[in-house]
Amino acid sequence: MTTITIFSVPCTNPSPLSSPKRFRFNPQSSAQLSPTSSLPLQTPSLPKTGVIVIGAGLAGLAAANHLNSNNIPFLLLEASDAVGGRVRTDIVDGFLLDRGFQILITAYPEARKLLNYQSLDLQKFYSGARIFYDGQFHTVADPLRHFWDSAKSLTNPIGSPLDKLLIGSTRIRVLAKSDEEILAAEEVPTIALLKKLGFSDSIIGRFFRPFFGGIFFDPDLETTSRLFDFVFKCLALGDNTLPARGISAIPEQLAARLPSGSLLLNSKVVSVDLNGSETPLVRLQNGDVLRSKLGVIIAVEEPAAVQLLAGRTGPVPKKPVRSTVCLYFTANRDKIPVQDPVLFLNGSGKGIVNNMFFATNVASSYGPPDKALVSVSLIGVFEGVSDDELVGKVIEELRGWFGGRMVAEWKHLRTYRIGFAQPNQCPPTDLKKNPRVESGLYVCGDYLTSATFDGALVSGRRASESLLKDRALSPS
Ligand SMILES: Cc1cc2nc3c(=O)[nH]c(=O)nc-3n(C[C@H](O)[C@H](O)[C@H](O)COP(=O)(O)OP(=O)(O)OC[C@H]3O[C@@H](n4cnc5c(N)ncnc54)[C@H](O)[C@@H]3O)c2cc1C
């Protein structure tokens, strides 16, 4: 076993609390944290400590960015071969395959602060959806962005005119509240909120179940009303988008800002031990042991965090996690039914497809010229159903939507089964959980806030802030 001690030179100022300024570092020093570098550890001019962040999903990347902008050296350890965690894109035969259907809502407040939208080259979806119900498609549209489409949809069977007015009043209700208020408001399951607001069973079954059920991977809409209100507000204020280079462009942008040498891929952490000190010992699967003087931020997904924390936090969550399957098909661009960047929802209450869209209609960069990329999402993992069977069922169902001849020409490209897509966020929830486990040990991830890109980014910043506060290093 190799033991690598990071900046463990005897500290001339043992209490960081007494001299905060002494711990402000040059960002370049982050690079020196790599365990493969040979550090002149006894040189007194070297920075004395650093932070270890475990997990380079959005939460870990946000924590690392926050530390970096406060000139705190850190090392970011990631088990897999790339950054992003659940936000990854594979390139297959010239197609960009996001690992599951994911969208960036531009109004996410933390994302707006942290990300450079312009360089993500965001491509917009149509603000509404086309719903398959009773053998036909019906449009629902945002009246502020597509007034005439919305007016025409007033009499369609997706909901009554009253339902459509209620959507307007829900919009006013959520816009009147701050995000803080929304995330800490009294909560009920989303389904209970919708019924209380007076929405009819028709619009709940035909629109809310496939739309919000698809966002939460929860067709029963048991997810907290806090999350519903938060997402509804963001949808009202922003656009649904895809980065032109794939959803992984988001974490890649955050990673590109980090100092070179501060990120180690293929570095799985197997344990974190405090050993009664405030400087946890981090053991890697390859046998390396790292020590950090300022503390450790565990930024892994909830099930992995439970293992690493080994009983140091409260009871293990028992609610079922949220799962999804995403199937990709290819077609010739002239062999798809529409060219619009619109999301299709299954409002029929039958079948296994929840939603689908033609990714190349939203961002043509998602496929080679002349080729269309079809993305189909199911909710659940479909254990016991083979990939071939799933492909067969999906194709059969979509033949009923778009016609047999057209769909028969689509070719299956890849299937992603995502067992852990999101933590369960049914009431009771605490969407502002304290990131501090104890002095020197912090957690972040979407399970501490809202299970969204934004929640993960917020949680990373908060964990870093909490660490800086404990060490009396006020964030700049
Ligand atoms: C299919 C799908 C669709 C989604 N759609 C949306 C959407 O449209 N909009 C939205 O806002 N949100 C969406 N989400 C949710 C969003 O992606 C997550 O909430 C968010 O990305 C979680 O980020 P995280 O950093 O908390 O966790 P993760 O992304 O899970 O990152 C954790 C990281 O820790 C690493 N790790 C784990 N264990 C170890 C270890 N022992 N040592 C080192 N590293 C380790 C993992 O490899 C991973 O990189 C979707 C999620 C999925 C799966």
**Is residue 163 domain-resident?**
yes
Beta strands in 310-349 (DSSP E): 322-332, 343-346
Which of the listed residues 66, 88, 102 should we mutate to test ligand 1's pocket, taking the one with most ligand atoms within 8 A of CB? 102
Residues 190 and 102 in one domain: no
Query: What strands, in cross-sheet order, belong to the sheet with 343-346?
Result: 136-141, 128-133, 343-346, 355-358, 371-379, 322-332, 411-422
309 alpha carbon to ligand 1 midpoint, in Å?
18
Residues 223 and 171 in one domain: yes
Q: What CATH number did the domain enclosing 446 receive?
A: 3.50.50.60
Regarding predicted confidence, which is higher, 296 or 476? 296
Q: Domain containing 183: what range?
A: 148-233
- pLDDT number for residue 27: 33
Hey, whose CA ends up nearest to atom 29 of ligand 1? Answer: 85
The tens digit of pLDDT for each residue in 295-326 reads: 999 999 999 999 999 877 766 667 889 999 99
For ligand 1, what atom is nearest to the CA of residue 62?
25
Domain boundary among 186, 201, 233: 233
**Is residue 262 domain-resident?**
yes
What does pLDDT average to over the chain? 88
Q: Which residue ranges have their beta carbon within 6 Å of ligand 1?
A: 54-60, 77-80, 85-87, 100-103, 268-269, 299-301, 304, 324, 418, 421-422, 445-446, 451-453, 456
Hey, whose CA ends up nearest to atom 35 of ligand 1? Answer: 55
Which of the listed residues 52, 301, 307, 464 should we mutate to test ligand 1's pocket, taking the one with most ligand atoms within 8 A of CB? 301
58 alpha carbon to ligand 1 midpoint, in Å?
7
Q: What CATH number did the domain enclosing 372 receive?
A: 3.90.660.20
Residues 79 and 45 in one domain: yes
In Å, how far are 10, 51, 123, 218, 283 from 235, measured between CA atoms? Answer: 52, 36, 15, 18, 42
The tens digit of pLDDT for each residue in 142-192 reads: 877 877 877 777 778 898 989 989 999 999 999 999 999 999 999 999 999
**Is residue 8 domain-resident?**
yes
**Using 50, 70 and 90 to split pLDDT, how confident is the model at 332?**
very high
Domain boundary among 177, 208, 233: 233
Residues 410 and 432 in one domain: no
* 82: amino acid identity, one letter: A
Residues 62 and 208 in one domain: no
451 alpha carbon to ligand 1 midpoint, in Å?
9
- pLDDT number for residue 277: 73
Q: What is the pTM of this model?
A: 0.91
Per-residue burial over 148-169, b if 16 or more Cβ lie within 10 Å, else e, is ebbeebeebebbeeebbebbee
pLDDT above 90 (res 5): no
Per-residue burial over 231-253, b if 16 or more Cβ lie within 10 Å, else e, is bbbbbbbbbbbbbbbbbbbbbbb
Residues 17 and 47 in one domain: yes
pLDDT above 50 (res 337): yes
**Is residue 181 domain-resident?**
yes
**Using 50, 70 and 90 to split pLDDT, how confident is the model at 474?**
low
Between 1-15, 65-79, 107-121, the lowest mean confidence (pLDDT) is in: 1-15
**Is residue 52 domain-resident?**
yes
The tens digit of pLDDT for each residue in 233-263 reads: 999 999 999 999 999 999 999 999 999 999 9
Q: Which of 466, 458, 361, 360 is nearest to 413 (CA)?
A: 360
Residues 359 and 409 in one domain: yes
401 alpha carbon to ligand 1 midpoint, in Å?
32
Mean pLDDT value across residues 338-350: 97
| Total count of domains within the chain | 3
**Is residue 130 domain-resident?**
no
84 alpha carbon to ligand 1 midpoint, in Å?
7
Residues 108 and 46 in one domain: no
Residues 310 and 455 in one domain: yes
pLDDT above 70 (res 7): no
Residues 439 and 292 in one domain: yes
pLDDT above 80 (res 282): yes
Whole-number Å distance between alpha carbons of 387 and 371: 23
pLDDT above 70 (res 25): no
Residues 304 and 330 in one domain: no
111 alpha carbon to ligand 1 midpoint, in Å?
15
State in Å, rounded, how far the first CA of the chain is from the last one: 38
Question: pLDDT above 90 covers what percent of the chain?
Answer: 78
Domain boundary among 204, 233, 262: 233
85 alpha carbon to ligand 1 midpoint, in Å?
4
**Is residue 142 domain-resident?**
no
Mean pLDDT value across residues 328-336: 95
**Is residue 475 domain-resident?**
no
CA torsion angle 131 132 136 140 (round to 10): -10
Residues 109 and 64 in one domain: no
* 353: amino acid identity, one letter: V
In Å, how far are 77, 158, 168, 172, 345 from 133, measured between CA atoms? Answer: 47, 8, 23, 28, 9
Which H or E run includes 463? helix 453-470
**Using 50, 70 and 90 to split pLDDT, how confident is the model at 1?**
very low
Please say whether the beta carbons of 138 and 352 come within 8 A: no
